[in-house]
Structure 1
Amino acid sequence: MNDALEFGLADLAPADAASEEAMETFWADDLTVLSQHHTGRKGSHSFVLAHDRSVTWGIPGGPQVVAIAVTRDLSRSTFTFETSYHATASFAQNWLIERGCLPEQITLASSNGLKPNDDLTVQVEQQIRKSGTRYEVLDTYTSDYDPSETWTLARDSSAGQAPIRVFHEEWNHDAGTYTMREGAFADVEDARTWLEERSGPLPEPPEYSDHDGAVVRARIARIALARSADVSAPSKADLDAPRTPQAGPGQGPGKGRLR
């Protein structure tokens, strides 16, 4: 295990068969760390967000962002080790937050990699991160070459209308930006038809245009104001923060699929 991902497990044993299997198949050298938080050198929890380069050698379309959660029981000298793969960093962050990581501890560095193209992208990502168990992921796809995009097909348990949602992330390497949009469909078949044909724009969720649309616009306005303040007056914490790569197209340092 490389220095960047030293979990301090040398004196601990796997608490169960699933943790033992996860450790046996885990290769830290394949990972580029995007963000990580530990509750101490040998504290109770570790949370890691990373890009797995090895996925680019596997079945095309596989999710490349991995979330890792480690829980240590020092009184028993054991640990549990969980991993979960996602198409986008925001869904991986949601998984980690659901396992106890504070949202502010698993953010991505804004100074490296691709940046959000607009405030709606930031809004959609925040919505995913804070969604809890709202979204049931049905399928994902990642393409780190033409077209450079990912999509996540999910069922929204909070939606009164069009409960099938597509979260479509598209990257512009030349501009150094990416765009995330949410689309709404009546059923999975309609969503898959759009993904296959792309015959029109991604249909906006009903809540974007009805009375709740005002709430969405207000949130976007607050995000724009906060981002403006951050640009004009960066905090000491931002200046002192470790520099880690930004998850983006291919979710890693290169543009193309490795072969």
Structure 2
Amino acid sequence: MLPPTEPVPNRKSTPRVDFEVDDFDSDEKRYLDFYRTVGVHEESLVPLATHNDGPNSYYVLFDRSATWGHPGMPQVLAVHLQRDHEKRMFSFEHAQLPLPAMAQSWLIHRGCPPDAIGLHPELGPPPADEATRALERRLVGDGDHYAMGYSYTSDDPDDMVIVVVLRAQDEQVPSPFRVVVEEVDTETWTHTLREGGFDTAGEALQWCDDRLTGKAGPLPPVRPAATPSRPAGVAKVPAPHPPSRSR
């Protein structure tokens, strides 16, 4: 998801992030790390999702300044902030990630309740279809099943696209390398997310390179997992029907 970078929306209506650590301290290395990673960019950070839970705060942030950095770098920042109110100390973890769904997953696996980190509905182009919504839900829920190997973010107005190569943690699954592609339609201001499956990292990376240079064909489908066969003579038991709900 790529919120608009230029022109910047009305700053009075654009949410601002407040890390609430002005009265907190930390060791020198962590404090400098926080300042260099987060604090120095605070004016450019747009909170796509936030959740505060006692000493813990979770943030999905869009970094508007990333477009001026190294070409292709991720523009989404996940931050998990921990505060010790008695000692007035703080610590934090962070990750630069290409997609908001991946940032949500990263935070969930660090203790954020899944239903508390939904994205702000008015920031960034909404999903164009149910296939996009379904894949985003799966990335949020199953993010720990894959490791990110490569990503490239292009915010060229003529071709706004993000490509991500993921490697399955289970090497035995079909299509162990996945390519996830987000494309933004600037006319309808919506985005689509699609997934393809590859047998090798080289094939996945080559497809990404071809997509970024306008030469890629369709994404190859993800091969389905094999269905275990039933032993001979064992009947299939019908699954029970869920109870009907009256509204």
Q: TM-score normalised by the shorter chain: which range applies? A: 0.7 to 0.9
> Which residue, 59, 70, 79 being the options, matches 1:59?
70
Higher relative CO (CA 8 A, sep ≥ 6), structure 1 or 2?
1
CA gap 1:79/1:125 in 2 versus in 1, 3 angstroms: same
What secondary structure does 1:50 align onto? strand
Deviations 1:154-201 (A, max 9, x none): 101246112011111111011121110111100111111212224421
> Which residue, 201, 219, 223 being the options, matches 2:218?
201
Alignment partner of 1:182 is 2:195 = yes
Which TM-score applies when normalising by structure 2?
0.77
Q: Does structure 2 conserve the Cα–Cα contact (< 8 Å) formed by 1:168 and 1:181?
A: yes
What secondary structure does 2:209 align onto? helix
> Which residue, 151, 158, 166 being the options, matches 1:154?
166
Q: How many residue pairs end up in the alignment?
A: 206
> Which residue, 17, 29, 33 being the options, matches 2:43?
29
Equivalent runs, 1:53-92 vs 2, <5 Å: 53-92=64-103
Partner AA of 2:50 in structure 1: Q
Partner AA of 1:201 in structure 2: P
Q: How far has the Cα of 1:11 moved from its partner?
A: 2.4
Q: How far has the Cα of 1:16 moved from its partner?
A: 6.8
Q: How far has the Cα of 1:23 moved from its partner?
A: 2.5
CA gap 1:189/1:132 in 2 versus in 1, 3 angstroms: closer
Q: Does structure 1 conserve the Cα–Cα contact (< 8 Å) formed by 2:80 and 2:94?
A: yes
Deviations 1:32-65 (A, max 9, x none): 12111112xxx30111111111111111111001
Runs of at least 4 residues of structure 1 off by over 3 A? none
Q: Which is helix-richer, 1 or 2?
A: 1
Identity %: 32
Deviations 1:53-83 (A, max 9, x none): 1111111111001111100122332111222
Partner AA of 1:13 in structure 2: D
Q: Report the counterpart of residue 129 of structure 1 in structure 2.
A: 140
- In 2, distance between residues paired with 1:105 and 1:181? 25
> Which residue, 167, 171, 181 being the options, matches 2:184?
171
CA gap 1:16/1:134 in 2 versus in 1, 3 angstroms: farther
**20-29 or 98-107, which deviates more:** 20-29
Q: How far has the Cα of 1:6 moved from its partner?
A: 2.2
Which TM-score applies when normalising by structure 1?
0.73
Q: Does structure 2 conserve the Cα–Cα contact (< 8 Å) formed by 1:35 and 1:108?
A: yes
- In 2, distance between residues paired with 1:14 and 1:183? 44
| Runs of 5+ unmatched residues, structure 1 | 213-259
Q: Does structure 2 conserve the Cα–Cα contact (< 8 Å) formed by 1:22 and 1:83?
A: no
- In 2, distance between residues paired with 1:96 and 1:160? 25
CA gap 1:19/1:165 in 2 versus in 1, 3 angstroms: farther
What secondary structure does 1:22 align onto? helix
What secondary structure does 2:106 align onto? helix
Q: How far has the Cα of 1:109 moved from its partner?
A: 2.7
Q: How far has the Cα of 1:111 moved from its partner?
A: 4.2
- In 1, distance between residues paired with 2:66 and 2:138? 27
What secondary structure does 2:220 align onto? coil
- In 2, distance between residues paired with 1:19 and 1:207? 47
Q: Report the counterpart of residue 18 of structure 1 in structure 2.
A: 30
Q: Report the counterpart of residue 106 of structure 1 in structure 2.
A: 117
What secondary structure does 1:17 align onto? helix
Q: Does structure 2 conserve the Cα–Cα contact (< 8 Å) formed by 1:16 and 1:80?
A: no
Q: Does structure 2 conserve the Cα–Cα contact (< 8 Å) formed by 1:68 and 1:84?
A: yes
What secondary structure does 2:83 align onto? strand
